[in-house]
């Protein structure tokens, strides 16, 4: 009722735009009438009639140019006198206008002829004359001079306002409505009990801890009394933190589907616009709307768009900071917001303002990390239930082969496997489809049109066998699953797939050194067989250098620096890059230590391959023949041509 009353009052109050428009129209009308009153009518007469008017002392002013003479008559003349002088039997229409016009703005004109005595005649009768005819304003020109600019101004005004309204996302009708409504309104999408997302907690797997925290918050909204009896308070907010693709937004959708209360969803970027104060207005409008529908949940995706640390330096942003200040006040300010839970998601928690992260605003920080082995298997089962699967599908094997994959990666793998089964004309997805999908997601599709010459094929074959053989000849390395020299669309001319036997969370110095040696096995094989290395080892060198740098600067596995930390990780949930925390001199010494570690591992790989040259040549020959060999076939060939095999392989 109050809202309707406010709407009626707002309609009765004319806005400043209406006042300006009315004033403009009044000014236009007055100038238009004045232009018509000052407009001039003209009547053409003959040159003889002009001379008759001069002789009759009826002319007051004459304007002349090369082609025309314009005559202004004396105002005291009457209509009959003028008609008599002109010798007209009837009163001409133009003379009637002359008589009826209040200012008698009627002039006569005639053509200019070659009359050398005209100037003398005019002087004899004391008639003022000029050699230039003044511009005359007709009724049409008066209308055009006011109507056309008005139309142009209206069009520019209309287009400008429409452009601003489109930028603001306004959904109002007309220009005046666009100026007064929609700019500071919230753009949140509302999911009510009737309009659900269609996703529940059953559709989320691999994030049991995050689900447990969110389920408790949902249960508080549904059954608040059992918590109030013991004195427990409602959590005000929860911040979902994790890498891209781990399921933060999916968890929010599940909360919306399970809560049974109004759910408001929008992204952080929807608050900020080009005008200062719009974002803060939208935050106020969002919470005012939410207060009318409590209990409810607000979900802000990509919170870092408005929640960055406030800075008073040159890089400050008034609009974003005002929006953040308003959000802080609404979440936990002077007035309580009971019944509203705020969920937010970000993959950059380190850039958020500390005032936003304190308890009372976001009481819970829920880490949505990449799933472990059991989590990956559960996620694969959830997505696999939506497709037709063969009885030979083993999700545990797929989970082992996808270490480090996010939930989005696993969903993509299942979908790629289903697409492959359709291309092959099968009714079910088999295990081979899933394994091929793993390779497609991480290495790209097979590039069948890329044909290598025989020399390059031999180099690639020895390179990949070098990786596999060095890995298999070490006690702490991962077992080989597959070797191929078929090029892939992501740039690989071949690759060796190693799959761990179990999920590992801690790695020893020996295990990391074995991984480093395996990475350099491809380049070592090129050196052993061809006496030189190629550009094909570029990615191996990059990965080996990154691993060696972590061992020296972060893991404390350096003989020179011991347990001293020389770098820290930033953007943990994005690129996870390392930032040095040491001096330049210490950094140079660390680089030398990294170089020595890489050189030692490469020499170790060369030694292993030289000691098992027969296995290297025979396995490479089989790979050149078949292009792809499995891990079992590789082990059989290695056992046949290797005398000294580690007992733990």
Would you list which residues are annotated within the binding site for Zn(2+)? Answer: 463, 467, 540
Considering 319, 416, 464, 593, which one is annotated as catalytic?
A: 464
Tokens of 310: 């406030």
Q: If 0-12 CB within 10 Å is exposed, 13-18 middle and 19+ buried, where does residue 312 land?
A: exposed
CA distance 33 to 143: 10
CB 256 within 8 A of CB 297: yes
| HSE toward the beta carbon, residue 154, CA cutoff 13 A | 9
Residue 571 backbone phi and psi in degrees, to 5: 50, 60
C-alpha of 77 from chain center:
80
Read off the DSSP letter of residue 446.
B
Binding-site entries for ATP: 242-249
Tokens of 303: 């919170």
208-222 and 248-259 helices, crossing angle to 10°: 30
Q: What is the dihedral of CA 7, 8, 14, 17, to 10 degrees?
A: 30
Interacting residues of 201 by C-beta distance below 8 A, sequence separation 6+: 211, 214, 215, 254, 258
Binding-site entries: 242-249, 463, 467, 540
Establish whether 436 is a catalytic residue.
no
CA distance 465 to 484: 9
| Pairing, β 41-44 against β 106-111 | parallel
Q: What is the dihedral of CA 88, 93, 99, 104, to 10 degrees?
A: -120
Dihedral sign for Cα atoms in the order 112, 115, 119, 120: negative
CA distance 470 to 476: 11
Nearest to 109 by CA among 56, 41, 38, 57: 41
Tokens of 106: 């009627």
CA distance 620 to 602: 20
Residue 302, sorted as left (phi over 0), alpha (psi -120 to 50) or beta, turns out to be left
CA distance 548 to 555: 10
Strand order, beta sheet including 59-64: 41-44, 106-111, 68-73, 59-64, 128-130
CA distance 649 to 204: 37
Q: If 0-12 CB within 10 Å is exposed, 13-18 middle and 19+ buried, where does residue 226 land?
A: exposed
CB 104 within 8 A of CB 67: no
Residues annotated as part of the active site:
464
């Amino acid at each position: 009722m109050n809202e309707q009353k406010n709407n009626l009052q707002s309609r009765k109050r004319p806005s400043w735009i209406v006042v300006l428009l009315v004033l403009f129209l009044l000014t236009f009308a007055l100038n238009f009438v004045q232009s018509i009153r000052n407009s001039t009518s003209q009547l053409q007469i003959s040159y003889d009639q002009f001379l008759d008017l001069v002789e009759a002392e009826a002319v007051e002013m004459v304007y002349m140019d090369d082609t025309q003479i314009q005559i202004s008559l004396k105002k005291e003349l009457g209509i009959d006198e003028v008609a008599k002088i002109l010798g007209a039997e009837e009163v001409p229409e133009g003379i009637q206008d002359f008589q009826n016009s209040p200012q008698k703005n009627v002039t006569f004109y005639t053509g200019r002829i070659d009359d050398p005595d005209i100037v003398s005649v005019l002087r004899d009768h004391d008639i003022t004359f000029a050699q230039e005819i003044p511009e005359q304003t007709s009724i049409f020109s008066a209308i055009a001079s006011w109507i056309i600019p008005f139309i142009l101004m209206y069009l520019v005004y209309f287009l400008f306002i429409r452009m601003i309204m489109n930028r603001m996302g306004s959904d109002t009708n007309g220009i005046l409505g666009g100026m007064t409504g929609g700019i500071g309104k919230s753009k949140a999408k509302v999911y009510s009990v009737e309009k659900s997302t269609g996703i529940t907690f059953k559709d989320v797997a691999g994030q049991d801890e995050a689900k447990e925290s969110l389920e408790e918050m949902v249960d508080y909204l549904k059954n608040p009394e059992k918590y109030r009896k013991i004195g427990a308070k409602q959590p005000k907010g929860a911040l979902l933190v994790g890498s891209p693709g781990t399921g933060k937004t999916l968890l929010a959708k599940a909360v919306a589907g399970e809560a049974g209360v109004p759910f408001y969803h929008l992204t952080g970027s929807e608050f900020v616009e080009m005008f200062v104060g719009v974002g803060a207005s939208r935050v106020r409008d969002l919470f005012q709307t939410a207060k009318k529908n409590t209990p409810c949940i607000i979900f802000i995706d990509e919170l870092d768009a408005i929640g960055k640390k406030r800075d008073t330096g040159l890089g400050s942003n008034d609009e974003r900071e005002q929006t953040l200040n308003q959000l802080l006040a609404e979440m936990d300010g002077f007035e309580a917001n009971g019944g509203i839970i705020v969920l937010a998601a970000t993959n950059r928690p380190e850039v958020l303002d500390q005032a936003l992260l304190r308890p009372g605003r976001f009481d819970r920080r829920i880490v949505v990390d990449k799933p472990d082995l059991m989590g990956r298997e559960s996620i694969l089962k959830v997505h696999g239930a939506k497709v037709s699967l063969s009885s030979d599908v083993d999700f545990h094997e797929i989970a082992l082969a996808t270490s480090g994959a996010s939930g989005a990666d696993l969903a993509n793998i299942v979908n790629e496997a289903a697409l492959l089964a359709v291309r092959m004309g099968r009714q079910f997805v088999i295990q081979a489809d899933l394994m091929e999908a793993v390779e497609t997601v991480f290495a790209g599709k097979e590039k069948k049109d890329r044909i290598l010459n025989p020399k390059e094929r031999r180099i690639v074959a020895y390179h990949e066998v070098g990786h596999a053989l060095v890995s298999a000849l070490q006690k702490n390395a991962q077992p080989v699953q597959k070797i191929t020299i078929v090029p892939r669309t992501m740039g690989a001319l071949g690759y060796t797939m190693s799959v761990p036997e179990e999920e590992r969370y801690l790695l020893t110095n020996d295990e990391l050194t074995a991984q480093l040696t395996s990475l350099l096995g491809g380049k070592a094989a090129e050196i052993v067989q061809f006496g030189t290395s190629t550009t094909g080892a570029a990615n191996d060198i990059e990965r080996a250098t990154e691993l060696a740098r972590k061992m020296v600067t972060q893991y404390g596995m350096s003989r020179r620096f011991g347990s001293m930390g020389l770098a820290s990780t930033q953007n943990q949930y994005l690129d996870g890059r390392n930032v040095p925390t040491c001096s330049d001199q210490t950094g140079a010494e660390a680089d030398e230590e990294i170089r020595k570690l890489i050189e030692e591992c490469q020499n170790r790989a060369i030694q292993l391959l030289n000691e098992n040259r027969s296995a290297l040549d025979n396995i490479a020959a089989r790979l050149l023949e078949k292009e792809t060999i499995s891990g079992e076939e590789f082990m059989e060939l290695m056992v046949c041509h290797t005398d000294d095999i580690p007992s733990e392989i």
